Structure 1
């Protein structure tokens, strides 16, 4: 009995070869993903070292590095309202090794700056909203009102007599205060400063009446009796100041003035790497040491998923565009 073997048709051999190549490519891809990250990750911060955002960013970098088992290095790149750092990340390779630690300046700037060197939505891939710090409306202790309701009544009875301070035109305290004034229908004059520190100094000196600030920077002055809190700009009261009502419960439903901090990657970054980064952020957020260090300064830990962060960015772009248009805010 003789056996004969016929060679497989060309099409069948090609199919088999493609199957083998597909398996090999799949294995390589899985291996590459498993290796990420195999070098240091840079976290670009659009503000100088030493401020609140930098403080949080450095805590995030330390904890995120532990979760990823690789160094996460903070690089401060201040200037031009955050656009220098943002443009750097927009142009960076989409490999997950260069990330932006951003704040509401990302959603405010498009309404203030006519020609940004990047597209706020198209050039970035949201990773996670990491943390939030609600703003706190504070007044000099010598002002003739002690509650938010009394402040509103006084401001409406004395239009343009009161003044409020901010760290500069187009900054978060400026636009959130303008949003409040628009929602309530009252007139308080804006006094812009070159930074939060001089604005606070003049508030303490009663050169201005009120300011949107944070618990972290106002609490010592509230304890000393130099400032008085009127309301907190979040949807729930702060456990650090449970006696201070929210603006939402004070007659402005849904109002929020939040200094949020989140992480963006360049557009086109592999979704698997975005997922790995997000899982690391969730793990970091569950770390007791990380929680304790932030919550004592009134920082709320969020660790939202990429879709929720993207939704926030889109909503704020629309909100701040309307506020800037109505208030005719101009960039400095």
Structure 2
């Protein structure tokens, strides 16, 4: 018998006074659309961002090596993605720039999922979030929310609270994806928001840890290779826990940041609307939305990194899990050649490193696949 993870619910928002100093020079009360004391830098203005709150997922991919953009599409008539049905689950991401979206048209065009901007920093909530978020759901898409990070104005934990309190939570309905931390070039000041690489890594950890405590899910991290390398020192701190959403407008996703073994989402195009691929099948996308299950009762309390030649109760559990997913192994507690072959087959089908070793990433994918059978 498996038991499904349930979110513990959003806590009350913390006080919004930030623990980091604002880097902009001007200071004034926040406007309804954001903070009037934050001024867009030149690359952001070239991408259509003139004031706080207007940042969007992928703006820096355009300003720093991607296609140039003067603003964003703002009418439903312009929102017809160039999706290729044979390339796997595809979807879009939208923000207030896109206005009210014709979600029925999006579904007909081949969109399987959509992410919607909910918040920015601890000062902005999207005026179009409800229409976009609920509209995607009502049209049959799998939907999720994203938060545009601004580490210069408050801590990661404060912004996670703000995000969850304004639409960024998660529910185990099988149609809601875990929230996204959009962390990329600063549109309002210094590239790395005035933080050192270690400070930035700690800021991200503060956000992701708090988001997990509020929802029971690990936030997806959206970023680019160049920003991540420059501002986090290409840290590998999150590549075993948080799914990666990489932005790169090219024919391949390129070298992944932080030595992630695989990407989960890839933002590969921005015209006429941001377009994304999910790295897997539609059934695996649904697993990501549904969440993972706890281990069956009686499973080992500690799961080691397993490899050929090992024995023990966790090897027995591995063999039972693989059999549950279609393998035909003798449950003999012995990680022999047959178990090795089954592990490699699973890793290959899961699009993760095929090394025959069962570490945190393989365990996580195994539990996700078990969830697709158990969390109905």
Query: What is the TM-score when the length of structure 2 is the normalising length?
Result: 0.29
Highest Rg: 1 or 2? 1
Query: What is the TM-score when the length of structure 1 is the normalising length?
Result: 0.31
Higher normalized strand content (fraction of residues): 1
Structure scoring higher RCO (CA < 8 A, sep ≥ 6) equals: 1
